[in-house]
Amino acid sequence: MLVLRLLNVIAPAYFLCISLVTFVLQIFLFIPSMFRDPSTTPLFSPALLHGALFLFLSANALGNYVLVIQSSPEDLGKGLNSGEGAEVVADWLDGSRSPGSALPSTHFCRLCARVTQRHDHHCFFTGNCIGSRNMRNFIMFCLYTSLACLDSLVAGMAYISAALSMSFANPLAFLTLLPHSISQFFSGALLSSEMFVILMLYLWLGIGLACAGFCCHQMLLILRGQTRYQVRKGMVVRARPWRENLQEVFGKRWLLGLLIPVLNVGSDYCRQKEK
């Protein structure tokens, strides 16, 4: 448990550090290198378009990241003041009852110390549980983080291609870039800044693919009306049309949430809270 609590603190700090490094490299290194002559650059140059695209992806990724943290799943234990529900929560807290005997569609997270509805999993990179209130923002966070990493990967490859006068037309060039760069770095033929960018290329690739795969897996579960916790525990869920499952998570104003980071307005959960 101590290791998990440390990971719950270190992982968000690691994500913020990677985000800051990516932003600095894009703004102060990659984008300026795209300008050959800034005085004659047209208004809609590739450099300006790339900069606007990166800022759009970064703003959505960080905005949804903040909303995932702020929109914490509701602690059902606070609202259960009497009856069997209060006894279940009390048994969870003192460890006398296993989570398997929980109320339907609920789960007690020991890291967050709360009972959440529609619990999916605990995300260490946000330090928060993912449930019915912040699922949509979490998926948007994964989507835009993946796109921002892949955008930085392309920009970094263009920078390295120009700095080292090499071509990535052959797919093997990227696979052999790291071992060749390490040998050149220790021989003094490669600058520290260039070596750092090359290491970031592989980090962006890994994070981008991981977030994309996780986003696709999460969307598949949503279409089936399931959560990761229900799948892991083998719980049977009521079969519903996939359109209803999507609307429950994304709401009717899904297009607004796709373009800008907003709270999950218009979902079934929010309508139930308003009632």
The Cα 72–Cα 262 span in angstroms is 14
The Cα 140–Cα 254 span in angstroms is 11
Please report where in the chains the tokens 């290329």 appear, as a residue.
Answer: 201
What digits encode the pLDDT tens for the residues 196-207? 999 999 999 999
* pLDDT score at 67: 92
* pLDDT score at 117: 76
Can you tell me the mean pLDDT for 83-105?
46
Q: Mean pLDDT check: name the lowest of 8-22, 95-109, 122-136, 227-241.
A: 95-109
* pLDDT score at 253: 77
What digits encode the pLDDT tens for the residues 95-145? 444 444 445 567 778 887 777 778 888 899 998 888 888 899 999 999 999
Instruction: Give this prediction's pTM.
Output: 0.84
Enzyme catalytic residues: 123
One DSSP character per residue, 27-42 reads: IIIIHHHH-S-GGG--
Reading the block at residue 167, the tokens are 């071509």
Tell which wins on pLDDT, 59 or 40.
59
The Cα 200–Cα 36 span in angstroms is 24
